[in-house]
Amino acid sequence: MYAKLLLRISTTSVAASLFGAVGWVAISPVDGASVGQNPAHVQLPPAWTPPTWHPAGEDLWALEQMAGPALEGAPRLRSSAAYVFDVDQGEVLLEHNADTIQPVASLTKLVSALALASSDYDLDREICIGAEHYPTRNGAFSKLSTGDCIEGWDALGAALVSSDNRGAFALASATDLDLDGFIQRMNTVSGQLGMDMSSWTDPSGLEDENMSTARDLARATMAVATHPLLSTVSSAPHWDLHYDARPVRRRFTTNKLSGRKGLGIDAVKTGYTGTAGYCYTTALTTRTGRHVVITLLGARRDRDRYRDMSSLLRWIDGLEA
């Protein structure tokens, strides 16, 4: 599976991402249970069945623990909504307007990637960019032009790494679904993951009708982080696009925390529209070894979401295990 990835990401990057994924099954300081696995003292609710298409299966137990009282003493944040979940402890560290429904911009692309993973997909399929891959909103970011022919791998990498909007639309072409069917699959996947406050209308997140919450997006982020293929792509620092008849072009991640010393990132996505503001979600291992999911929505400025991230990381690393 990862042979194609080696053409698009450096070997070091792939190894770091895969080792990051392994980090989610390290020994928990709570009771010796494996992180990402269902500890003996946590019972899966009988009403919830992990989706059969996700390779983690019941290792997605943490999705059912993403509710409960937050800790006291959290830093004051600039983002309008925030949610922080400690995977090791199985507890909420912070929530602020975590269930407020709002546009979430390109964080939508995580759900698009999950919809792809849940479908009958072929990433080796050639996709030639056409009018059907153009978002309805003018001025949408993309480095893909009409007539460019790429493989499904590059549509996925462009969408998740450099947040390319036509790349996100092209994900549907890597499946046996048309665009409407793909969007319906996005909504189905949300329901399967317990994202009950979310609804989707396009794969890129440009439309304001792509609505979710900080808590729901944390669930999607956790699902991406525990999916070997999606985690490897989402956490990549760059992606090399292989065009049919053009030179390879390297696209860099939109994540400004990429490469920060001491952080092990397993999934990440940024997003911005004028309505949604600046958004950020990630599943990572902190400098002190904590495995956390952090989602921030609605910051007014780009630097505000990164200031919030820095404040949260310092606070989390200062908590007692």
CATH code of residue 113: 3.40.710.10
Dist. CA 274–CA 108, nearest whole Å:
15
Higher per-residue pLDDT: 284 or 245: 284
Residues facing 95 on adjacent strands: 83
pLDDT of 34 higher than 70 = no
Dist. CA 165–CA 140, nearest whole Å:
7
Task: Output the CA torsion sign for 182, 227, 142, 277.
Answer: positive
pLDDT of 21 higher than 50 = no
pLDDT of 40 higher than 50 = no
pLDDT band at 144 (very low <50, low <70, confident <90, very high): confident
**Helix (H, G, I), strand (E, B), or coil: what is residue 270?**
strand
Higher per-residue pLDDT: 24 or 317: 317
Predicted TM-score (pTM) of the model is 0.88
Task: Calculate ∠ Cα 169-201-60, nearest 5°.
Answer: 85
Higher per-residue pLDDT: 25 or 61: 61
- pLDDT for the residue 3: 57
- pLDDT for the residue 200: 98
pLDDT band at 61 (very low <50, low <70, confident <90, very high): confident
pLDDT band at 7 (very low <50, low <70, confident <90, very high): low
pLDDT band at 312 (very low <50, low <70, confident <90, very high): very high
Region 220-229: mean pLDDT is 97
- pLDDT for the residue 308: 98
- pLDDT for the residue 5: 65
Region 260-270: mean pLDDT is 96
153-203 residue pLDDT tens? 999 999 999 999 999 999 999 999 999 999 999 999 999 999 999 999 999
pLDDT of 29 higher than 50 = no
Dihedral Cα 304, 236, 104, 65, nearest 10 deg:
-100
- pLDDT for the residue 6: 57
Q: What is the number of structural domains in the chain?
A: 1
pLDDT band at 243 (very low <50, low <70, confident <90, very high): confident
pLDDT of 255 higher than 60 = yes
Residue range(s) defining the domain that contains residue 233: 3-42+49-318
